[in-house]
Amino acid sequence: MANCLFVVLSLSSASLCHGACVEVDSDTDAVVSEGFKLGCISCKMRGEVPAEATVEWSFMPKGESEFTKVREVRGGGQDDIPDERFYERLDWNGSKKTKDLQDGSIYILNVTWNDTGTYRCIFNRTLTFTSYGFHTDVTKIVHLNVVPRRSATATPLIIQQITVNDS
């Protein structure tokens, strides 16, 4: 009986600790000439384990068939915007001042019709246990529509694929 009570108590405190990160789907309708937040959140499965993550965003314009990298943010360091289409138009809305990125959201300033297309966000995370690193990749896809003005409802269309492997 005493053991059961202990288990219940530790489970409930664990879920409280993990309650801070919530994976909200991105909006998908951007209004032309306004700003737009492309959301990408990947919560750590083990909140207490130290981790380091890299977020890579790629863009495939509508009608094209290949992704090109538009932003890569390495937790606690390097941050590149390698695509001139987004030069001075892409702000970071994700986790700040940490290697342990869980929010990888970006913000497009002054959206144009040309921003219509598919955005891919890849979280590359390494969890550090005492004797080994555990590697996960999470990919989220956002199909972005550019609209002339704000509509009442937007239906998020998100496809998530997770691969987990030891490294």
Ligand X SMILES: *[C@@H]1O[C@H](CO)[C@@H](O)[C@H](O)[C@H]1NC(C)=O
Q: Which range of residues in 22-30, 42-50, 106-114, 151-159 is near ligand X by CB under 6 A?
A: 106-114
> Which one among 33, 68, 128, 151 touches ligand X, defined by CB under 6 A?
33
What would the two tokens of residue 91 be? 């702000």
Are 59 and 83 in contact, with CB atoms under 8 Å apart?
A: yes
Q: Which residue has the tokens 């001042």?
A: 97
Q: Does 134 bind ligand X (CB under 6 A)?
A: no
Q: Which is nearer to ligand X, 28 or 138 (CB)?
A: 138
At its nearest, how many Å lie between ligand X and the CB of residue 159? 18
Beta-carbon neighbour count of residue 120 at 10 Å?
18
Binds ligand X by CB under 6 A, chosen from 10, 110, 160, 161: 110
The one-letter amino acid at 154? A
Q: Does 137 bind ligand X (CB under 6 A)?
A: yes
Three-class secondary structure of residue 10 per DSSP: helix
Residue pair 60/30 in contact by the 8 Å Cβ criterion: no
Q: Which residues bind ligand X (CB under 6 A)?
A: 33, 91, 93, 107, 110, 112, 114, 124, 126, 137
